[in-house]
Amino acid sequence: MSVSSSLAFAVQGDIKNSGFFDEYLYKLLEERDKLGLTELIREIDALMLTVDPGKSIEYIAELSLMSAYVYLYTLESESHWSHVLRIADDYPDLVIREVKHESIRGLFRSLNEVYPVGSTKPHSRYIGEVLRVTDLPEVLKLQEKRDFSFFSAEEAAKLELPANLAISKPSPYTHNIVAYVQRREGEPRYYQLGKEFINSEAEQACAEAKQRQRNLGIADLILPVDHLASRVFSQNREVALLEWLSLSSYYYWGSLNIVDQNSSTNVTKSVHVANELYSPAKVFTANNTPYFVNHLKIFPSPTENFVRNYGPRLHHIALAVKDGESRGMENIDFVVNAISEQGKSFLLDVVGSKKEGLKQIFSSTSEHSSLIVEYVQRYGTFEGYFNKDNVAELTFVAGIEEELVRMSRLGQEKR
């Protein structure tokens, strides 16, 4: 494989990174290519998250209406149910884990409990991605030589995580894990984790939601995941990017400065697939300044406030919407109107335009997963990733809602 494969992409955006970042971006990607890791590590194979007890069926119903995911089956272990959702074999699975009892403690709960809003839903959080690899022992050997740490088989069993995955320790920068699974392209996916069965409630919730999608005329308009967006502390922006690039086979697309919201949007994409639907882009958002200086110039700080309240974590899952029109409306507007009529709220009107190349919108935060769903429609041959004005508006309204959620949840705790 060519040494330049990971470095052949022109960097986009308007942010000047530090000398440290520029130096180690080149060194780490060059090393990754030379070691063969870029070739061994392929696309994102699955996304994993966990919800509070009693919330998984409701969340499956919500996602079945709002996304292209379909419930497949459930795995039962001693203290968890793990529901597997799938669009098709070419796109990442979604694994929704639910603890059986509120009293169950564990690593992922502990990552929530030190943050004021995160602690109010102690089991509700995104866990991380599973990456498909072609030679798992070789990938582990090379990554461990690079000082990355992975759970032992005993530790993974205690956490009741799939035994056929190699799982990294949570990142100190994003609090997410990265897991590897060996699977040839075209081979079936499976998760070695307890007894497999069909949960009739989940199956029915999904079937009813899919029927509603068809009745609303949106079933073929919502496409797979376009990107995953995490929020991190300002001081961790560059190292979070470099860490993810070291663990994956992604490249650095570039960074945009969202001046109005005192933040940056930093994008990475897969070396192996140009279409994000087959392996979603990974986006990292961070404040430009740390929280403790914001009062000096009254900087806006929605991104840093989110991280201080919830902890570093995934903020939203963005779903692509098919380009085109339905019943005289652009597809994204048609989808949002239809879902709104089903009781799901959105944080603002759709922003952007066909002239600008794309339109985007955020849903309200899911009460089941604490995640936002974003819809994004790109027009024609538009190749850009974001419109800066769109991102500024989305960041602003998400910050307002997150503050309202914070006040509501903390108020409930005091009563």
Contact present, 247 and 177 (Cβ < 8 Å) = no
pLDDT of residue 258: 87
Q: Percent of the chain scored above 70 by pLDDT?
A: 92
Angstrom distance (rounded) from CA 30 to CA 411: 51
Q: How far apart are CA 164 and CA 166, in angstroms?
A: 7
Q: Tell me the average pLDDT of the chain.
A: 91
Beta-carbon-side half-sphere exposure of residue 338 (alpha carbons within 13 Å): 23
For 161, the token pair is: 């995580």
Token duo for residue 365:
């935060």
Residue 80: partners with Cβ closer than 8 Å, 6 or more residues away:
97, 98, 99, 100, 160, 193, 194
Tens of pLDDT, residues 259-284: 888 899 999 999 999 999 999 999 99
pLDDT band at 348 (very low <50, low <70, confident <90, very high): confident
- The string of pLDDT tens digits covering residues 387-396 is 666 676 777 6
- 383 or 37: whose pLDDT is higher? 37
Per-residue pLDDT tens digits for 151-196: 999 999 999 999 999 999 999 999 999 999 999 999 999 999 999 9
DSSP string, 271-282: SS-SSGGGS-EE
- Least confident span in 346-350, 365-369, 387-391: 387-391
- Which domains, from first to last, does the chain contain? 40-213 (3.10.180.10), 216-414 (3.10.180.10)
User: What pLDDT, on a 0 to 100 scale, did the predictor assign at position 1?
Assistant: 38
Contacts of 273 (CB under 8 A, 6+ apart): 43, 279
243 versus 108: the higher-pLDDT residue is 243
In sequence order, which ranges of 190-344 are alpha helices (DSSP H)?
200-216, 237-247, 294-297, 302-310, 331-341
Average pLDDT (293-311) is 86
Distance between CA atoms of 259 and 356, rounded to whole angstroms? 19
Q: Is the pLDDT of residue 409 over 60?
A: no
For residue 414, pLDDT over 60 is answered with: no
Q: How confident is the model at residue 413 (pLDDT cuts 50, 70, 90)?
A: low
Q: What is the mean pLDDT of residues 101-110?
A: 88
Instruction: Say what the pLDDT of residue 3 is.
Output: 42
Q: What is the pLDDT of residue 179?
A: 98
Is pLDDT above 70 for 210? yes
Say yes or no to pLDDT of 227 above 90: yes
Give the mean model confidence (pLDDT) for residues 59-76. 98
Question: Which whole number is the average pLDDT over 79-88?
Answer: 97
Among the ranges given (145-154, 229-238, 380-389), the one the predictor scored with the smallest mean pLDDT: 380-389
pLDDT, one tens digit per residue, over 14-39 is 999 999 999 999 999 999 999 999 99
Q: What is the DSSP string of 326-387?
A: ETTEEHHHHHHHHHHHTT--BSSS-EEETTTTEEEEEBPPPTTTS-EEEEEEE-TT---S--
